[in-house]
Amino acid sequence: MDKKDDRTMIGVCPSCGKPFRIESTGGGEEWRYCAEVCVDPVAVPAGARLQPDKATLRFIDGNMNEYMRDEYIKVHGIDPLPIWKAIEKWREEQIEK
């Protein structure tokens, strides 16, 4: 008997930082996804470091390279700030649980 796969995953759009739902199409490993979403996991920020001036953030990509915000946009083509804010918000929610 064929059973539809009802798994759902939540992701964060690396372009705008908004969460979105990824649902199974019901066949194998195929997933529906937003075509606007960057598929390069290296482009998603892995971390951020506040500089001693307490005003400048340096973003770290998936390859552990460190960039200023404008450099990050030039290299990866996406703004890391909204993504990083969404990641921090998600982490805070996990701590509160």
16 against 94, higher pLDDT: 94
- For the segment 89-97, the average pLDDT, to the nearest whole number, is 88
Domain ranges of the chain: 8-96
Best-predicted range by mean pLDDT among 16-20, 33-37, 39-43?
Answer: 39-43
Q: Is the pTM of this model over 0.85?
A: no
What is the token pair recorded at 77? 């083509």
What is the token pair recorded at 17? 């930082």
Handedness of CA 74, 80, 81, 82 (dihedral sign): positive
List the single range of 5-9, 14-18, 62-66 with lowest mean pLDDT. 5-9
Whether 69 and 59 have beta carbons less than 8 Å apart is answered as yes
pLDDT in the model for residue 66: 96
Is pLDDT at 3 greater than 70 in this prediction? no
Q: How far apart are the first and last CA of the chain?
A: 38
